[in-house]
Each structure stands twice: as C-alpha cells, then as structure tokens.
Amino acid sequence: MATATPRRFVTLDVFTDRALAGNPLAVVLDAEGLDSNQMQAIAREFNLSESVFVVKPTDEFNRARLRIFTINHELPFAGHPTVGAAVLLATLDKVSTSTDFVVEEGVGPVPCHVTVKGPRFGNATFAVPRLPEILEEEPMTVEACAQALGLDKSDIGFDGYTPVVASAGVPFVCIPLASRSALARISPSAGRLIATFGGAADSVYVFCRDEDGEGDLRARMFAANMGIDEDPATGSAAASLAAVLMAGEKPDDGFHAFDILQGVEMGRPSLVRLGLEVAGGALIGVTIGGGAVIVSEGTIHI
C-alpha cells in the first residue's frame, strides 16, 4: 500500500455568524497532488453540498485556486465555497482587520474582500466573475411548477415575476412564490423535480418577498440531480437571481442591496447579501457577501 499524505482540512458554517447554522463547507488544504477522481471521492466522503480543494494559483499574484466539488461532480463556481474559503485563507494569513485578494475558480478570477472578526470568524464579499443572465423565459408552465413543488397554481408568481432559467455560471430554475406560506408548504420529491426541471437546469431556486421584514427576500434551493435534497444557502443562485431582480425591480442607477434569508425551514438559517451595481439602466456588477465561522479542523490521509 502506498504511503498516504496527511492533508489538513477545515469545516466552516457559511452565510452565518454562528456555528451550527448556515451552510456547512469542507475546505481541504495541502491539496496539491490530488487528481480529480481523488477530490471527487473526498467530497463524497465529507457528504456536504460542496467541498473545496485549495491548490496553487496559475497566476502567482492570486491567492489560490479553488476547485469545488459536490458529491457528484465539479462546479465551475459556487458562492458559499467562495465565501468560506476566502474567510479561511484570510485567517490563515493572520489578517487582523481586512484584506483583498483574488482566487481562481473554473469560471474565472474572483476578487474577494475579507473582514476578519476574530480567530474563527469573518465576513467575505466577492465580485461575481460572470454577469448573470436570463437564459430562458418561462421554461415550463405555472401548472408544471406548482405540481413539481406540491403547491397550487395560485402560489406561483408575484408582481409580474414568472419562472425563468437564470445563470451566473451555474443555471438555476428561478420560481417566484406569492407568499412565505407557499415557501413553507413546498413538498417536493426528487423524482418530480428531476422529471419537471432536469432538462432546464440541475437546481431549482424558489423565492418570495419577506413579509416579516427580517430581510428583503426569502428563498429555498433544491438540487435533486446533484444529490442535494435542500441547500441551506446558495450564493450562486443568489447571483443568478440578480438578473431576475434586474428585470423585475427595474432599479435605478447606483448600488442596490438585497438581504436573502434561506435555510430557515430546514433549521439552518442563513443570510446571503446580494449587491447589484446599475449604470445606464444596465447591470454592470454583482456581489455576494456573508459570514463564515470555523467549526472544526483535522487531517485526512490520502
């Protein structure tokens, strides 16, 4: 048997300011020498929605290259791995206040700003490397969306919003819901989701206005094709939603912030901060931000 190499790993809870909330993430440090199959197997071993592997950047001026895996395949870009890895890298660099650096992902270079709040907690905001766009208007009927989610037709849509497919590197079926009650009543099955949406996108992102005023929007995300029953917080989906909000809200020029609460229904409350920069009536920039807390550290031998 070949000698195994000890490799550090850290787990964090992301898009939260406290442990045991938000979206769990595993980050494998010292990942040099691992091939894609090994990374995929390790991600499956962690059995989290995503795991990150930190390797040397292709550009020496960048902080690191991040390879992101679900339990089934590699992703070109994802939000909560970017936030969590950025906070971890800043703490490893012994940053006492704040720092800026670039990480490389499959979708391109991602500029990050990190504020360190303590030895195990910080906030990170990153610029989405690819502007989101709506790929397909009304990819399926309201009836089909309602049936797939276990809802009534009247639960689908609000303020002129209708189902669309949007992407900032990873496509999502974005479905507007009329109320928080409808959001709470979703009862999807993996079979129904795959049968209805599998041809349009791997993931379904449902959202509504936050009637309680705790945030601006509430959301849930399901990705049956990726082996994710429900995701507590999805930065890449929020990035895709920026294109939807741009079309629906028609914001004026300037910066606009939206707080999105997710994961509440599954007991993992999360807060994703979405920023839209608008100039000349067009979307010119999108940011995703949130907190991350280091929960555990260890070593794997691969």
Enzyme catalytic residues: 50
97-104: which pairs have CB atoms within 8 A and are 24 or more residues apart? 101/62, 101/63, 102/59, 102/61, 102/62, 102/63, 103/57, 103/62, 103/63, 103/64, 103/65, 103/66, 104/57, 104/58, 104/59, 104/62, 104/64, 104/65, 104/66
- Locate all alpha helices (DSSP H) within the chain, ordered by sequence: 36-46, 79-92, 142-149, 180-185, 190-197, 235-249
- Residues with Cβ within 8 Å of residue 211, at least 6 apart in sequence: 179, 180
- Report the C-alpha gap between 168 and 240 in whole angstroms: 5
**Amino acid, res. 130:** R
Written as six digits, the tokens of 145 are 């969306």
